[in-house]
Structure formats: structure tokens, C-alpha cells
Amino acid sequence: MEECTMLNACYDDNANKFQEEESSLTVMRKFGGKQAIRALERIERSTSNIDVMSESIQHTVTKYDDEQFTEDNAFAKNKVEGELILASMKPPRNPEAKTPAEVYRLQDMLSKMVLDSLKTVGLGLLQKAPESLDFSNVYLTNKVKAALQSKEPDSDENVRTLQICLFMDALCRLLGYRGTNFDKVACSPFSNELYHEIKQNFSQVNQHKPTKTKYTVHKALTHYLALAFMLENGTLNVDQVHGGLNITKNEMLKFAAFIGGSYNSVKNSLTLRMTESSGAGKSSFGGRKRYGKRK
């Protein structure tokens, strides 16, 4: 009985063709003339070059994949770090807030020690004449005067107002300081405890020294506006608040949007949203910047 293969006949043809080519090459090596041998060498070099080129291409592709993977990892790491930096600029929100006025709370921004210090300072202001007050801008001065001249200046609400204004005053002085050495920033003439807490939470370490940077400025502005929202029960008159800041109106609106403020151009007012929009966590003022290590 004759044996037969289940393979297509083309496989037999290819095998036979390969054997014939090998036999021809062997004959050319043994009996071919100089021209035939040189032609054979050119063919073999060409085949070798193709193999080398193939290996080179494969190496390049593999190297590109590795480099691209490394770059993607670096990009992802930088993105995460950037998001963490932006998040650290924002004042903490109250997850249990029922109204816009409750979104930000003083006790979430300052330690109890500093709050107690500001309460003591605030009560001390009650003994002073409103005209003698030395606050950093007209907006804060008017707020403090209104509290001191009210029927119950020592009420819990008025004391809270004084605490907020003292904190805002320190942030405004910090923003107005043109240097970078935090040790020379006299941002709170009223409370050393407040100064040290601002120095710890708002400065960045540069060459082992606490430094005022753009991070400091951005964080101070977001906290200043959050405190203003607290004073105004969640709705700000843009002109009133902007008057105490050395930035453009558009910049102020960007910082306000960053912490959840919604601008009404007809009323020229800002209203604090109860929930953050998807874009509220992304800063359009930060750009692509490298921030130093926070203290």
C-alpha cells in the first residue's frame, strides 16, 4: 500500500525547492568559478544584512516600548503629584454642610490652639476704639468695626467674625510681602501662634529654609476667599472682596472657581456651590510648574 501525506502538495514543492537550492549552492561553492563564488558571497552578505537589520529593528522597537513605558510611568507619577499639590492648596470642605455658609469651617483650617489664641485676641479688640484698628485692607477693617459696634460685640457670632478677620488679615499681609524668606514675614502682628501655623502650613522648604513661593500665594488666596465665603454666608460681592487683594478680577474669579465659587456676571457676585464640579479640582492658574517640598 502506498503511503500518502495529508499535507497540501505545496508543502512538498517548497521542501523540494529548498533542497534543490541548497544543492545548487553547494555545487557553486565547490565547482563554481571566481565570478560565481563572488556572486554567492554577495547573496550571503545580503541575507546576513537582512538578518542584522531585522534584529536592529526589533531592538529599536523593544527599546522604544521600554522608554515609552518609563515615560508613561513618569508622566503618571508627575500627574499624581501635581494633583496632590493642587489638593493641598484647597481649604478642606465640610462633608456635612447643609448650606453654602457651612461648606468651609474655621475649625477645619486652624488648630484649636490657634483658634483659642485668636479668640483671646478678638476679645482684646473689644477694649479698643474701632478707629484705632490696624487691619490690612478696608474690607476687613469695616467687618471688624461692624462687629465691635454691634449690640452684642462679645457674642459667639461676633467673636467668630473677629477670628476669621484676624486670619484673613494675616493671609493678606503674607500676600503683600514681596520677599521670599518666611522668617522675615510679619504676617500676624496680633498672634504668634497664628504666624507659626501659617509658616508651617503655607511655606515650602527651599535650601532648608521656609520660603514663600507661588504655592504659598495660591494657597493663601484660596484660603482667603474661603474665609470670605464664611463671613458672607456663601455669597460674595466681587468688588468688595477684590478691593483687598492685589490681583486682577479675573485672577480672583479663577481662584474662587477653584474652591467651588460660581460667578454671576449680572449681579457681579460669587456663590459657593454645595458640591464641587468635575473641573473645580483642576487649576488653570497653576500651569506646568515644579513645586518644592512642603515643610
Predicted local confidence at residue 152, as pLDDT: 93
In a domain, 91, yes or no: yes
Residue with cell 500627574: 79
- Sign of the dihedral defined by the CA atoms of residues 199, 200, 201, 202, in that order: positive
In a domain, 69, yes or no: no
Predicted local confidence at residue 293, as pLDDT: 45
**CA torsion angle for 114, 119, 125, 131 (degrees, to 10)?**
70
Predicted local confidence at residue 189, as pLDDT: 86
- Structural domain including 259 reads 80-294
In a domain, 24, yes or no: no
Q: Residue ranges of the alpha helices (H) in the chain?
A: 9-31, 34-89, 106-109, 112-125, 138-148, 156-176, 192-202, 214-231, 238-242, 249-258
DSSP string, 187-205: --SS-HHHHHHHHHHH-EE
Predicted local confidence at residue 275, as pLDDT: 80
Answering whether pTM is above 0.75, one says no
Of residues 123, 217, 232, 127, the one with CA closest to residue 172: 217
H-helix or E-strand spanning residue 95: none
Of residues 160, 138, 135, 134, the one with CA closest to residue 147: 160
Predicted local confidence at residue 204, as pLDDT: 87
Predicted local confidence at residue 61, as pLDDT: 61
**CA torsion angle for 58, 61, 63, 69 (degrees, to 10)?**
-140
Give me the count of residues in the chain: 295
Predicted local confidence at residue 295, as pLDDT: 47
In a domain, 61, yes or no: no
In a domain, 217, yes or no: yes
In a domain, 56, yes or no: no
Predicted local confidence at residue 83, as pLDDT: 72
Per-residue confidence in pLDDT tens, the chain, 295 aa: 555 555 444 444 444 444 545 555 555 555 555 555 666 566 555 555 556 566 666 766 666 666 655 656 655 555 566 677 788 889 999 999 999 989 999 999 999 999 999 999 999 999 888 888 889 999 999 999 999 999 999 999 999 999 999 999 999 999 998 888 888 888 888 889 999 999 999 998 787 888 999 999 999 999 999 999 999 999 999 999 998 888 999 999 999 999 999 999 999 999 999 887 544 545 455 444 444 444 4
Per the structure, how many domains does the chain have? 1
Predicted local confidence at residue 94, as pLDDT: 93
| Other beta carbons less than 10 A from residue 176's beta carbon | 13
In a domain, 121, yes or no: yes
In a domain, 1, yes or no: no
Instruction: Return the C-alpha cell found at 86.
Output: 493642587
